[in-house]
Structure 1
Amino acid sequence: MARIKRDAKALHERLLVQRGGEPEGPQTRSFATLIKTWRRTQGFKKLKPRTQRGYDFLVGYIEDWSEATGHPDPTKLTKPDIEAFLETFDDRPTSRRLLKVVLKMVMDQAVDLGWRTDNPVERIRMGQPKSRVSIWEAADVEAYAWAAIAVGQPDMAAMILMQWEIGQRLTDAYLFQIGADFLPVEGEFRFEQSKTAEKVAIPVSDRLRAVLAHVSTPGKLYLFHDARTGRPWARLIGNRLEADDTAASKAFALVRDMALTVDGARSLKLKWLRHSCVVQLARAGCTVPEIASITGHSIASVEQILQRYLPRDSTVARNAQVKRGLIQNAG
């Protein structure tokens, strides 16, 4: 109940800011003040509503910590103080990492307001979490696409094949529209990537064109739909349609259960196809900028993915020798 009240208060304050008002309450040197001023920054306002809600959820943990520790003065917090808070999430490494990101942004407000000259969160180092991502291979794609058809989810089969080829953010892919983001006649995706704001045109294979033509039936606005409900993998929040991860995850779970009935099939996640696309493009000999232009990752993100997941195998070695002109490409 306390969390619900806090979330409602945060929403109320955001609405006041959008209407030109000011949040209520004393402007003391506290986390409450920092969080209020952070929500008024252009950086926060420009975030997508989905991202804002995610940050607000994490801020709740920070507010709980502040209350439990007697509302400490953020101008006097030290690195050990913050490390002690983050250590309470050692059993949840993803939450710990995200909390550090949000806490850094909140504490940046203390610097911007002139309360302090440093941000102690910047000096906290966290080791990279152990990778649990498995890279999809061509055989996996075929098995899961077959399974999607078998359970009556042809749009999920199309989604899997599309992600294998162009590796987009799933929250963008769920909302692809026919004739706007995907042009069936040209066999090409044309859209603005959500984070880089780059406009791209990505042609796809004849096979994927045929599959997408099959699911792009007349009268459909969105490219991908759940066969059980007939609705796109999206939900209306206010007056804005956003991707619905829950509905898509349920559909994919049925597909995975069917795929695992095949001998040798691996248990995979749909979101891993994005990293897999990066790896497969690199294996094909694409440069980092070429990969980033397709998947929408930053250059740095592509390099990090390849550093962590790209096998230094015979395929990569052969591509290198072909590029040097030492051998001919068998293909």
Structure 2
Amino acid sequence: MAPRPRKAGARDLPPNLYRKVDSRNGKTYFNYRDPLSGKWYGLGTDKTAAIREAIAANHAGAKAKPALIERISITKGKPFAEWVEEYRTLYAERGLSPNSVRNTGMRLNRLKDRFGQMDMAEIGTFQVAQYLKSITDEGKAQMARAMRSLLNDVMLEAVAAGWRSDNPVDVTKAAKVKVKRERLTLEIWKAAYAEARQPWLRRAMELAILTGQRRDDIASMTFKDVSNGHLHVIQAKTGQRIRISTSLRLEAVDLDLESIIKSCRDRVVSQHLVHHTRRVSGALPGMPIMLDTLSKAFAEARDKGAKKAGIELGESPPTFHEMRSLAARLHAAEGRDPQMLLGHKSAKMTALYRDNRGAEWIDVA
């Protein structure tokens, strides 16, 4: 606020300093008015001292006020809750599967509940580490890893958009997860395959063991994806584009991709390789198989096959997804690098899938 215009009797005083004569005793008193707050401060009757203090106060006030360039460069903060909604749009534009978008959406809601009231600039490594620790302490290490991965991506996008200059998640440590699910062995696979009564389950198991693709990708494969001697797959989880030659063969199970695709064509007209062949509940012939149906059918065949073969399963028996690991190990054993087939960007990730976790014997010559 600009100082008041100086009266004739105050021109010998610095800005914001005023004199007042007390009519009772005739003494002159000096008062200072803070131009920012408007408050008055008494400085007594010593004119020299009052002038000295007023000049010092004016100088300090000028330094405290931000310069014009600083005022222009100040950017209004953004609440984390607002940024989460913008991130939802960015994530949806990646073209991932509806299932991935839905699962990520639920996790974003959890992040919003935790950090929603905070400004983007207020979220530091300490807050992130404490949040991840609280999840791990609940015995949910896998969830902690998933939330860290998502929050890391949220912050990376925020850095790219200019709302942050750093990523507070980057230096935090991912929770250690003890893998409980057992690996699928070739012996168990063959036992389950022998008990797979539904034609669509046999086709799904054949495609999974040969191509190493995820359950979502197996269920969504269509005949139009096959062209020029290749099966084209756009992985739902990562968006990775893979072209698999139909001449691909796996000697361990005596299967080749071209023959499997041909066997998928039956009397039922369908665009999906894996499809219903008869009406079941609300599903009509030709319709694709629901993911839960695929998992449950495999689990039933696995349990029946293992029991019949005298194989003892543990507390966490291998799921349909474990065919991806088995495929990696079988292809590697036959001299093929499974990294490109699985769509991994790093050999380290492929190595995790090739690890049999002690489920198979190691032959020593």
CA distance in structure 2 between the partners assigned to 1:140 and 1:116 by the alignment: 51
Equivalent of 2:295 in 249, 268, 286 = 249
1:172/1:49 CA distance change after superposition, 3 Å = closer
**Equivalences for residues 1-331 of structure 1 within 5 A:** 29-41=78-90, 44-50=92-98, 51-66=100-115, 71-90=117-136, 91-149=139-197, 153-178=198-223, 180-182=224-226, 189-194=230-235, 195-205=239-249, 207=255, 213-218=262-267, 219-226=269-276, 228=280, 229=283, 230-234=285-289, 244-262=290-308, 263-264=310-311, 266=313, 267-286=317-336, 290-300=337-347, 301-306=349-354, 309=357, 314-315=362-363
CA distance in structure 1 between the partners assigned to 2:320 and 2:265 by the alignment: 21
Cα shift at 1:204: 4.2
Larger radius of gyration: 2
CA distance in structure 2 between the partners assigned to 1:293 and 1:250 by the alignment: 29
Q: Which amino acid letter does the alignment assign opposite residue 241 of structure 2?
A: A
Aligned residue for 1:148, secondary structure, equals coil
Moved more, 109-118 or 78-87: 109-118
Cα shift at 1:314: 4.3
* CA deviation profile, 1:122-167 (whole Å, cap 9, x unmatched): 1111144222343322221211111112xxx122122212222221
Aligned residue for 1:164, secondary structure, equals helix
* CA deviation profile, 1:247-306 (whole Å, cap 9, x unmatched): 2223223323422432115332111000111122222233xxx31233323343213433
1:115/1:308 CA distance change after superposition, 3 Å = farther
**Which residue of the partner structure matches residue 9 of structure 1?**
none
Structure 1 runs of 4+ with >6 Å offset = 310-313
**RMSD across aligned positions (CA):** 3.0
Check the 8 A contact 1:222/1:232 in 2, yes or no. Answer: yes
CA distance in structure 2 between the partners assigned to 1:162 and 1:114 by the alignment: 45
Check the 8 A contact 1:38/1:106 in 2, yes or no. Answer: yes
Q: Which amino acid letter does the alignment assign opposite residue 222 of structure 2?
A: Q
CA distance in structure 1 between the partners assigned to 2:319 and 2:325 by the alignment: 11
TM-score (norm 2): 0.64
CA distance in structure 2 between the partners assigned to 1:74 and 1:296 by the alignment: 34
1:199/1:98 CA distance change after superposition, 3 Å = same
CA distance in structure 1 between the partners assigned to 2:234 and 2:214 by the alignment: 9
CA distance in structure 2 between the partners assigned to 1:59 and 1:305 by the alignment: 28
Check the 8 A contact 1:75/1:110 in 2, yes or no. Answer: no
Moved more, 91-100 or 290-299: 290-299
**Which residue of the partner structure matches residue 16 of structure 1?**
none
Identity across matched positions, percent: 17
Cα shift at 1:181: 3.3
Cα shift at 1:312: 9.7
Aligned residue for 2:241, secondary structure, equals coil
**Which residue of the partner structure matches residue 325 of structure 1?**
none
1:256/1:304 CA distance change after superposition, 3 Å = closer
CA distance in structure 1 between the partners assigned to 2:225 and 2:162 by the alignment: 45
Structure 2: 5+ residue stretches without partners: 1-75
Check the 8 A contact 2:78/2:119 in 1, yes or no. Answer: yes
**Which residue of the partner structure matches residue 7 of structure 1?**
none
